Structure formats: structure tokens, C-alpha cells
Amino acid sequence: MYCLDSHLISTLGTGEPFFFIFGGRPLVQLMPIWGQYVYELTLVLLSTLWVYKTWRLSPDLYSRENLASRFRKQLEKLQLNISQYVEGRSLSELNTHEVYILAKVLPGFTREKRHAAYKGVVREALEEGYANYSSSLEVLQQLRQELGITDDEHREVLEELGIEDPELLNPARKRSLENQIRLTGYRKSLERLMLLQRQQDLTNADRSLDPNSVEIDALRRQYSISSQDEDWILSGISPESGSLRRAEFLLAQLPDLITCFRGLNQPILHKQQAVLTLLKSSIHHKKELIVRTILETLASLNNERAAISLAQQLGDLAPVVLLELLESENWHERLHPEIIEKLAPLSGGTSSCAIDYSSEETLKTLAPLLDDRNPLIQTACLYITAQLDLTQSQAIARNYTHIQTSPLLQETVKIILSASKECPPLTTFSLLEKVVHLFNSDFFHRMHSETLISLSERAEVRTFGNDEAITEAGDTCRELLLLIEGSANILYHLPNQEVRIERLKLGQTLDELEVLAHSDSKNTIVAKGDFTRILAVPVNAFDDLLDRDRDFARRVLELESRQLQRFMRSLQTI
């Protein structure tokens, strides 16, 4: 058992002191009779008021206030200047509605800070067991609606947290508010002990961290602290040390990702370019997240010796991703010149890649991707494994038959287990093929896996023969069309009754503007070749995505703006 000290009790909230009021009966009995009656009457009145106040508190309102309290903590960490907007009040004095309204109108609350605040709420909710990886999307729905956070942004936050702290998303690790309180109590007691020891002996400031310390050993027993708990707590006592440890942990993940990337570049897999592009892009995105987080740590550490060493290692491991981020973001302004100096000479380096791996060696390098939390990466890797070794992939697939997985993985497992001598081609995997082609298109590139899977379930693949009309001028556009195999021509009907022909490329979308405007098609699209395949996404599915994903809507607007500019330039040359 562990004990709760007075400092820890103060962190539990305003309601817990009432425990001591009700539990103080031995002291009350020392009072005169009239004093005891007054005391009991006061308890009855307070209890009645509490019941009256909370009787009409609905679960939705309770959840809203709970999330607002968590969000308020994150706003306080950002140290935003809010006094001029709330008439001198502090964040703690604002009610639930005022906190959310403030977040919407505060000029300094940028998109990056909104992302950081929401990420802090998600981290805290996961640490306390208030939500887990599966339930967090639903539990935090109210907060996302208030802040304008999309489902895909939420999944991106989970992906970042999973990279920074994989244990945070580990379903086997039990988390609870009580456990968080226990760890917080130990941390506060340890901080006070360190402060007292520094005051007694300034020359021995690190004595409190001695694992053989009698005082610390007593605290461990009091709070039932394990070695893993202590490592986490010690990193929290020193923010700089905690950031450095997290950065070193992230840096240690880069070699495995690099190895996977090399495995995907083997000539033995060159026939699976569409699936490989998906996996390469996903790994590259993970490397970007890791490198960006490490750069954040370097910015906070300034030019300390540990930061310089970390920068040197980062430059050696990820020169390509590092160069992209340094050129596209404002890291030159945020990082110390000495850190930039360590990174800059390595920015032009190239990484070599061995291209003589055998099938067994290639499968070994790709094995970590089979355990990835992203069902898209997991399924694509299982498909690649089946192309190299069907027997091995079937053994892996059997492990997924008795657990709840995504529809994409379920379909892939079923097809692989039913295969006999060799793995079927990608066209046999209906859902996976549609996801892969959507991912590789400009419209849907790098969209989160759940969204792609949902769209793929509603999409349909159609086949056309040579000179067969895919759409006719005047048809109502009910689908967004994507060319995935073969070729097709767009026949533009010009005002002077001339027809201009434009050849489509694989992966190019058709009738985007008409789909957005819900209008009739102005042009005719004709298949060329004996076998042309089109992926059709229903317009209502496309509209649903535009409504709930602002990032996707902005991306569509940018793509269509460029297309309109190209079209106008082409008209000027006629």
C-alpha cells in the first residue's frame, strides 16, 4: 500500500477535502453538544446543495466539463496572453463555454498551437486511462467539434504519440487515474526531497538521485514504485532530460525504418510498384515525424553539448529527410547556429542502398511493418510477403483470423489463405487495390488509412473496351473517376465546334470540377485500348469527405486551382 501526502491530496480536486470533514468525527466529539449539532447541520446543508447542483448534470455535460478542464491545462502551458480578452480573469476562472469561445477567437492560438494543445489533451487522457487508442476517437469527439479537429487530424496525433511513446498506445498496459495519482505523489515527494537536500548541501545536488539513498528507498516502498515507473518520473522531474531521452529514443528508431526502406527498394519487388509506393511514402512520413520531433528538442536544448551530439547523429542517419525539413520549414530561425552548422554539412549527403538482398533477407527487413498499428501498412506488407513467400505469409495470416482487424486486413487474410500455389495478383484483392490506387493519386495521397478504406468500400472498379464511352457530354456527374489501368482521352468541345483531345495519365482523376459543382459533364471521355479500368468514387462519399475534412477540402481547392490555370494557359495558346 502507498500513502497520500498532503501535497498529493491537493492535486485531486476540490471535492476530496470533504472526506476529511466527514471523517473528522473524533475531533468533532471534543466540541460542545451545540457545536456538534451545528457541524452536522452544516454537513446536511452542504450535501443538499451538492446534490441539487449535480442532480441535473447530464453525462454529456460532465464529459464536456471534463474535456474543457483538460484543455484549460494545455492552454495554460502555452502561456498565451488572454487578459485583454477576458477582462483580467485567468483561465481557471473561465467556464466551459468561455474556454472554447476563447480558443476560437484568440489571435495567438494558431493552428500549430491548437494541434499542440489537443495533442496534450490526448496524451493526458491516454496516460490516465480516460481513453485508449480505440475509444479516443469517440471519447474526445466533443472537444474535436469545439476546436475544429478532424478525425484524420486526431489519427495523426495518435500516430505522433505512438512514435514518441509506443507504450502510451500499448493496450496491454493498464492505465488509470489512481495510478497516475500514485506516480504524481511520488514525483512531488521526490522533488521536495531533492529541494531539501540541495538546501542542506549545495555541493551534493544530485544526492537525491542516488538509487541507494535511504530516503528514496522509503519513498519507493511508500508509493509502490517500480524501476519503469521511476525512469518515467525522473524524466519528468528534469524537462530537459526528459526531452533528451525522448529524442534519443526516437533517434534509435530511425535505423529500423531505414532498413525497411532498403528492403522495399530491392529489384525482386519491382513488379509491385503501386504497393511499394504506398509503403515507401508511409515510412518516409514516419521518418519526417521523428526528425521533426528531434528538431523540436534541439531547439529547446539550444547549443548544449548533448544537443550538438544529437544533431551530429541525426545528420548521419537521416540526411535526406533532414534536408527537406530544413528547406521547407523555419528551422534555421529556431535552431542555434552551432546546431545548424552540425546539420548543414550533412544535408547534401546521399545514402547508399544495397540491392542484392535475397527473398529471405528482404522479408526479414520488412518484418517490423507487419506489427505496425496502421492497417494500411500492415496489409500492404502482408501482401508483399505473400508475393515472395506464400507459405510464410499464410502462417502470418492465420494469426489474424481470431482477432478483430480492419476490413482491409480481413479481406487480404482471407484471399491469401485461400491461395494454392502462388499469391494472386493485386487485382484479386478488391479492397486493397482500390486503397492503393487512391493513395497514389494526387487527390488522396497521404490521406489517413481509415478514410481511404471507407472510400474504397464505397468505390467501384469498372472496365471499358476500346473506343467505349466512359462519360458522355451532358451526363450528370455522380462519381469522381480515377484512371487506374489502360488509357483514355478527354474530348473537349470548344465553342467553334472544334474538338481538342487530351490524353489522360494513369492515376489522373476525371470530372473533378463537375463533381464539385454537381453539374453535367461538358466533355466526352473515351477509353483507348482493349482494357481500360476506372475507379469510380460516388459523389456523396466525396461530399462527406469534404464536409468533415478541412485539410482535404483545401487540398482539392489547390489542385483544382492549378488545373484551371493550366486550362486557361492552354486556351491562350490555341
Tell me the DSSP string of 369-397.
GGG-S-HHHHHHHHHHHHHH-HHHHHHHH
Average pLDDT over residues 365-373: 89
pLDDT at 431: 94
pLDDT, tens digit (0-9, with 9 covering 90-100), for 246-285: 788 888 889 988 999 989 989 888 889 999 999 999 899 8
Confidence band (pLDDT; 50, 70, 90) for 102? confident
pLDDT at 109: 76
Task: Classify residue 426 as exposed, middle or buried by CB count within 10 Å of its CB (0-12, 13-18, 19+).
Answer: middle
Neighbours of 24 (CB within 10 A): 11
Average pLDDT over residues 403-427: 89
Lowest mean pLDDT among 6-20, 237-251, 423-437: 6-20
533, β-bridge pairs: 463, 485
* Rounded-to-integer distance, Cα 527 and Cα 489, Å: 6
- Between 374 and 22, where is the model more confident? 374
pLDDT, tens digit (0-9, with 9 covering 90-100), for 311-341: 888 888 888 888 888 888 888 888 888 888 8
Mean pLDDT, the chain, as a whole number?
78
Lowest mean pLDDT among 140-144, 358-362, 375-379: 140-144
pLDDT at 455: 87
* Rounded-to-integer distance, Cα 455 and Cα 539, Å: 11
At which residue does the C-alpha cell 502462388 appear?
422
Confidence band (pLDDT; 50, 70, 90) for 364? very high
* Rounded-to-integer distance, Cα 198 and Cα 382, Å: 56
pLDDT at 352: 56
pLDDT at 53: 65
- Between 300 and 193, where is the model more confident? 300
Quick one: cell of 530?
Answer: 482493349
Closest CA to 425 of 484, 460, 383, 377: 383
Contact 344, 319 (CB under 8 A): no
pLDDT, tens digit (0-9, with 9 covering 90-100), for 167-209: 677 665 666 666 767 777 777 777 777 777 666 655 544 444 5
Q: Is the pLDDT of residue 420 over 80?
A: yes
Give the DSSP letter of residue 403. S
Task: Classify residue 278 as exposed, middle or buried by CB count within 10 Å of its CB (0-12, 13-18, 19+).
Answer: buried
Q: Is the pLDDT of residue 9 over 50?
A: no
Closest CA to 538 of 558, 511, 508, 563: 511
Contact 72, 92 (CB under 8 A): yes
Residues whose CB is less than 8 angstroms from the CB of residue 172 and which lie 6 or more positions away in sequence, other chains included: none
Q: Is the pLDDT of residue 290 over 80?
A: yes
Task: Classify residue 29 as exposed, middle or buried by CB count within 10 Å of its CB (0-12, 13-18, 19+).
Answer: exposed
Average pLDDT over residues 75-80: 77
pLDDT at 146: 82
pLDDT at 1: 38
Give the DSSP letter of residue 399. T
pLDDT, tens digit (0-9, with 9 covering 90-100), for 198-257: 666 555 444 445 555 677 778 777 777 777 667 666 655 555 556 777 788 888 889 988
Quick one: cell of 232?
Answer: 518515467
Helix extents (H) in 129-272? 136-139, 141-147, 151-164, 177-200, 214-223, 227-237, 239-264
DSSP line for 67-83: HHHHHHHHHHHHT---T
Average pLDDT over residues 113-120: 85
Confidence band (pLDDT; 50, 70, 90) for 24? low
pLDDT, tens digit (0-9, with 9 covering 90-100), for 49-75: 777 666 655 666 666 777 888 888 888
Amino acid at 396: I
Task: Classify residue 279 as exposed, middle or buried by CB count within 10 Å of its CB (0-12, 13-18, 19+).
Answer: buried
Quick one: cell of 428?
Answer: 484479386
Confidence band (pLDDT; 50, 70, 90) for 344? low
